[in-house]
Amino acid sequence: MDRRTLGIAAAVLCLGFVLPISARAQDEEHATHKSSGIGFHETVAPLGIRHWFGSQKVGLDLGVGFSSEPSLEFPGEHLKSWAIGAGVPIVLQSWSRVHVMFRPGATYQSQQVDAGTFPGPFVTESEKTLNIKAEIEAEAFVLENFSVSASTGVAYESFDPGFGLDKEHSFRTLGGNWTEVGFHVYVCK
C-alpha cells in the first residue's frame, strides 16, 4: 500500500470513531433484533455475515465472493476471481424499524484475465482492486429479523491492471439502485 492509500484508510477509520460520539440513537425506539445474521452488504462479496455487539450500536460485516467462468477463447479452461469485504456499521440514528448508519469499509478483489492469444498457451494475469469506502447506510426491517439495506457515500479505489502496468487511483461517489439492495436475516442471539 502506498502512503496516500494508508492516509485515506486512516481518515475513514478516524471518522468511524468520531461520528459515534455525536450519534443520537434513541434507546427507547431502537430497532432491536437478533445479533448475528447472514446476508450481504455488496454484491461482489455476497456470502456474508453481520454481527452486532453489546447494545447493537456497533457491528461488523464480513463477506466473500468467488467465481470460475469458462474462458471464451480456450475451451476447458476457467478464469477465476475472488473478493473479500469488511465494514463496521455504526448506528447514528434508530427508530423502531430502521437504522441509519455510518459504515466505513474496504473490499479487495482479484480477477484473472486471459493474457494469451489463441491458439497459444492459456496464460492468465490477475487484475487487483482495493476499495476503501465511507457510506451512509439505511437498514429497514421488513420483518422482525429480516432487513433490506441500501447505501450512498464516497470511495477511494486503487486498481492494478496487471501485465506490469502502473496502478490507477480514483476517488468517486457511490450508491446502488434497487437491484443492488443488500439484506440480512438475523438468526442468532
E strand or H helix at 68: strand 58-70
Mean pLDDT of 119-144: 92
Which cell numbers in the block locate residue 6? Answer: 494508508
Encoded amino acid at 183, one letter: F
Mean pLDDT of the region 84-105: 96
* Domain parsing of the chain, residue ranges: 3-188
Which strand (E) or helix (H) includes residue 15? helix 3-22
DSSP state of 128: E
Q: Say what the pTM is.
A: 0.80
Q: Is the pLDDT of residue 181 over 70?
A: yes
Tell me the average pLDDT across 137-145.
93
Phi then psi dihedrals of residue 3, to 5 deg? -65, -35
* Rounded CA Rg of the chain: 19
The CATH number given to 3-188 is 2.40.160
pLDDT tens-digit series, residues 33-47: 899 999 999 899 999
Which one is predicted more confidently, 178 or 161?
Answer: 161
pLDDT tens digit sequence for 105-130: 999 999 999 877 767 788 889 999 99
Choice between 8 and 159, residue whose per-residue pLDDT is larger = 159
DSSP 120: S
